[in-house]
């Protein structure tokens, strides 16, 4: 989800802050019943016009994927 919203030009972050002190207020605000607990919150929004994402530093998936057991990597296709 976070990668998709970035492609769409939205800003987002996954946060567990709701679990540390604000759960009651968030549950009331969103109408979440008392018998449920929150795990995290993923707010989405458009960044300011003057904000631009920088380049990513992720390695290609084929470099960090292991097949069947640790260390078994298939070469780039």
Task: Tell me the residue ranges of DSSP E strands in the chain.
Answer: 11-12, 44-45
pLDDT at 7: 84
pLDDT at 36: 92
**Distance, CA of 12 to CA of 28 (rounded, Å):** 22
Mean pLDDT, residues 36-62 = 82
Domain boundaries, the chain: 2-46
**What are the tens digits of pLDDT across the range 6-37?**
888 888 888 888 778 888 888 898 899 999 98
**Distance, CA of 18 to CA of 49 (rounded, Å):** 28
Q: What is the pTM of this model?
A: 0.53
Q: Band of the pLDDT at 75, cuts 50, 70, 90?
A: low
């Amino acid at each position: 989800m976070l990668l998709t919203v970035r492609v769409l030009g939205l800003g987002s972050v996954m946060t567990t802050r709701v679990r540390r002190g604000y759960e009651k207020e968030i549950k009331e605000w969103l109408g979440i019943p008392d018998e449920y607990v929150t795990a995290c919150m993923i707010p989405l929004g458009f960044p300011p016009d003057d904000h631009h994402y920088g380049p990513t530093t992720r390695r290609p998936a084929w470099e960090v994927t292991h097949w069947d057991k640790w260390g078994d990597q298939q070469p780039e296709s």
